[in-house]
Amino acid sequence: MLLKYKRKRMKTRVEIETELSTLVSSKLESSIKEKGFATLLVSGGSTPVQLFHLLSEKNIDWEKVTILPVDERFLPDEHPDQNGNLIKKHLIKNKAAVANFCPLILNATDSELNLNLVKRSIESVKHPFTVVILGMGTDGHTASLFPCSPELEQGLDLANTNELLITNPKNAPYQRITFTKKALLSAENIYLHCYGTEKKKILDSLDSFTEKKYPIKAFMNQQNNRTELFWTI
């Protein structure tokens, strides 16, 4: 007799966001309890908006949490395409309104000067980072580590001791500033939050391609610090 097995039900986006927000808040709380501080690096785009809202309602000692973008478009404050604007609007509100925000744009007219200013600014951010939440584009990029960027090799190089890098993607708008692979992998907890079948196809095919083709591979197919996937359609 053939046995019939029920196919495991795929989680909804609401369930994914609820699960991830609970996990992230737990990691932040544990870090505050053990070290007196916590650091949260988050991605921009539309995917994390509801996750941000859920996090903003968590009962955490937010005054002891520092929030940073994993990358930023070289744009002035309040520009609708700036990640920092998205983070302040959707995450740093409600109970999280008292969190410390560390922007990656301090001078919107000179990218090199801005890079140096931000490097000095993040020296005061305590390490290691507690949680990094990555996103992924349909070209396999994460943070602002784009396959079309001339600076990609430098951004993925573990010998690069700089935490931050300016990138100039050819097929995406705006010059960017981003944390490097080494800086992001130094975090205690790394999560990839993304949706859609197109992105899942990329993740399922990573063994067949290099990091230069799909930069997200640098975070998924490595043994130093496992990246946990939160995905659904």
Element (H, E) at 193: strand 189-195
* Four-residue CA torsion sign, 122, 128, 131, 133: positive
Q: Is 207 helix (H, G, I), strand (E, B) or coil?
A: helix
Place of tokens 């988050």: 42
Instruction: Please state, rounded to an integer, the average pLDDT across all residues of the chain.
Output: 95
The predicted model gives 94-111 an average pLDDT of 98
**Residue 3 covered by a domain:** no
- Do 220 and 161 contact (CB within 8 A), yes or no? no
User: What is the pTM assigned to this prediction?
Assistant: 0.96
**Residue 54 covered by a domain:** yes
The predicted model gives 120-126 an average pLDDT of 96
**Residue 1 covered by a domain:** no
- Do 148 and 76 contact (CB within 8 A), yes or no? no
d(Cα 16, Cα 195) in Å, to the nearest integer? Answer: 10
pLDDT band at 227 (very low <50, low <70, confident <90, very high): very high
**Residue 5 covered by a domain:** no
Secondary structure letter of residue 74 according to DSSP: S
d(Cα 155, Cα 68) in Å, to the nearest integer? Answer: 18
Cα dist from 145 to 2, 40, 41, 51, whole Å: 49, 19, 15, 23
**Residue 56 covered by a domain:** yes
Any idea what the CATH number is for the domain that residue 123 is in? 3.40.50.1360
Q: In terms of residue numbers, what domain contains 141?
A: 13-232
pLDDT band at 223 (very low <50, low <70, confident <90, very high): confident
Tally of domains in the chain: 1
Question: Which pLDDT score, from 0 to 100, does residue 7 have?
Answer: 54
Question: Which pLDDT score, from 0 to 100, does residue 224 have?
Answer: 76
